[in-house]
Each structure stands twice: as C-alpha cells, then as structure tokens.
Amino acid sequence: MTKTRAARDLLAYWFRLAAGRQAPRRDEIEPRDIKRHLPDMFIVELEKPGSFTFRLAGTAICANYGFELRGEDFASLWQGEGRATMTGLLERVIGNAEPVLVEFAAESMRERTVRFELILLPLAAADGRLSRVLGCFAPLEDPFWLGSDPLVRQWTETIEVLDAEQGETLPNTTRVELDVEDDHNAPPAIAFREVRPYLRLVKTDT
C-alpha cells in the first residue's frame, strides 16, 4: 500500500471522485481540493501509441529534474528497458482502468540517490474515453539536496497493481516481480512474487 501522505491522499481523492466508475473525468479534478500536493503532482496524456506526454507537472517535480517537463515524454525519465516498462504500465492503467503504485530510485548529477513512490491513476476525457493518467512523485526521503542537484538516472524497484473495486475501503494490492533490472548498471531490483495470473511483465536481456 501507499507509504507517503501524498500518494495516500491522491488515491483516496481519486476513489471519491470515481464514485464507482472506471475513473473520474479530467474536468472533475479541483486543484484546491489537493492543493497541498500540487507541487508533486502531474497529468500525462496518451498522444499516440506508446507515447504519454506531460500536460501538467508540479513545480517540485520540475525542480527535481532541473527542467520544465510539460510536453516531455513521461517514459524518457527512465533509461534503457525502464522506458518500455513505464510505457507498458501507463497503457495498462488506461487500458484496464487500474491504479498502479511504483517505487523507484533515482541518482542525481552528483551521484546522490533518493527513492520515490509514484502513483498512476486513470482519468477520463469528457467523452468518457480513458486517455490520461493522474499521478504524483512522492519522495520517500527528504534529502537536503533534492531540487538543487538534478536527477539524471532512475530505475524501478517495485510495481504494485491496485484492485480498483467499488466500496469505501482502499483496495487490496499485489506485488509484481520484476524479471530483470530496468537498467543493467543499476542496483538489483527488489523482486516480489507475481500472484495474479493475468498480469505478466516480460522483460528480456536483448
């Protein structure tokens, strides 16, 4: 489950707005309702197959990477096979209307490391089509340098698919095993046993 206040609050807000539907609409998001977390929040949109572009990116996220993310491809923040993994997760989020929780580690220009919790939540357009993803980058640590020493490399550690069920309680979760590292130069990924037969993340060394 969520470890940070930002991810927990955003997930609860999303469930409240969805009200039993697959996902809330983009125009139902009220920034004032989640204003304390806006610096860490973002919205990406599926522009074409395999490409999710930042439409909105909070000030803290842009400061962490050292540049304005609006208009950039979301998966470009990862390297190597990690890009395909993230694109596949975003496609799953909107294709199956399933929230996803990710933990990843990032390295700065000065070779410092920090870990984040990333939540990905489907959003519908006015016509009901799922084409956007709402999320936040919530740091699991609070290093003094974050926001001044730009992040230049990152790799996924865990992926957690949330059961998007109706009801007032937050959903059950399952951890998903990462078959290989996203980046062969990164530290080993934290692996968890896959328990959902329909969920399979296949990665190769080629």
Q: What is the pLDDT of residues 144-190, one digit of tens each?
A: 999 999 999 999 999 999 875 543 334 444 444 333 334 444 443 33
Please give the Cα distance from 99 to 92 (Å, whole number): 9
- The pLDDT of residue 184: 45
Q: What b/e string do you get for 61-96 counting C-beta neighbours within 10 Å, with b at 16 or more?
A: bbebbeeebeebbbbebbbebbbebbbbbbebbbeb
Contacts of 3 (CB under 8 A, 6+ apart): 117, 140
Q: Convert the pLDDT of each residue in 56-114 to its tens digit.
A: 999 999 999 999 999 999 999 999 999 999 999 999 999 999 999 999 999 999 999 99
* Domains, the chain, with CATH or none: 5-176 (3.30.450.20)
Residue-wise pLDDT for 197-206, tens only, equals 223 333 334 3
Mean pLDDT of 16-25: 93
pTM for this predicted structure: 0.81
